[in-house]
Amino acid sequence: MGSPAKQVPIKEGLYTWPAAEPQLIGSRCRDCDEVSFPKQDGCPNCTSEATEEILLSRRGSLWTWTIQRFPPPAPPFIGERESFEPFGVGYIELPEGIRIESRLTVNDPAQLEIGMEMELCIEKFRDREDGTQLMTFAFAPACAEPTCSEPTCV
């Protein structure tokens, strides 16, 4: 039995990981309170440079969604077009007042409903040629049961 594959974030500074409960890394403007993701050195609302790094909530509500049923154009699509699998994509509204565009862990319309609670998780995006796994953030339907171990991401 070989050693587990090395896992690396798709981009440094997007989320805390490895972590038992990862969080997205955003920024807040100290002048106008605008929240941004990913974190910004300058405020996109008032152009102030008085921003601070913040950790965003792990849970939010599904604001809108769709199923990506065909491979996006390349670039930015990375991967084999023949092995493309449809995936969910949506906007998650967080308590901080920001909507985050994200992959969803499910692609079945019967499992998605606007307003439902979603939770951040980290999942494999793809494998590099050297076997390293690129990990990205996604949102999964949150489980309402306190003993539930959802979401089922890596």
In a domain, 74, yes or no: yes
Distance CA 116, CA 118 (A): 6
**Residue 115 pLDDT:** 97
Distance CA 126, CA 80 (A): 10
Distance CA 67, CA 73 (A): 16
Domain that includes residue 113, residue range: 58-141
**Residue 77 pLDDT:** 63
DSSP the chain: -PPPPPEEESSTTSB--S-SS--BEEEEETTT--EESS--SS-TTT--S-EEEEEPPSEEEEEEEEEE-SPPPTTT--S-GGG---EEEEEEE-TTS-EEEEEES---GGG--TT-EEEEEEEEEEE-TTSPEEEEEEEEEPPSSTT-------
**Residue 123 pLDDT:** 94
**Residue 24 pLDDT:** 98
**Residue 75 pLDDT:** 64
Residues 6 or more apart whose CB falls under 8 angstroms from that of 42 comprise 48, 49, 51
Distance CA 154, CA 135 (A): 9
In a domain, 39, yes or no: no
In a domain, 127, yes or no: yes
The pLDDT tens digits along the chain (154 residues) read: 566 789 999 999 999 988 889 999 999 999 999 999 999 999 999 999 999 999 999 999 999 999 999 887 766 666 677 778 899 999 999 999 999 999 999 999 999 999 999 999 999 988 888 999 999 999 999 976 655 555 556 5
**Residue 102 pLDDT:** 97
**Residue 6 pLDDT:** 93
91: tokens are 């906007």
**Residue 22 pLDDT:** 95
In a domain, 16, yes or no: no
For the chain, the domain total comes to 1
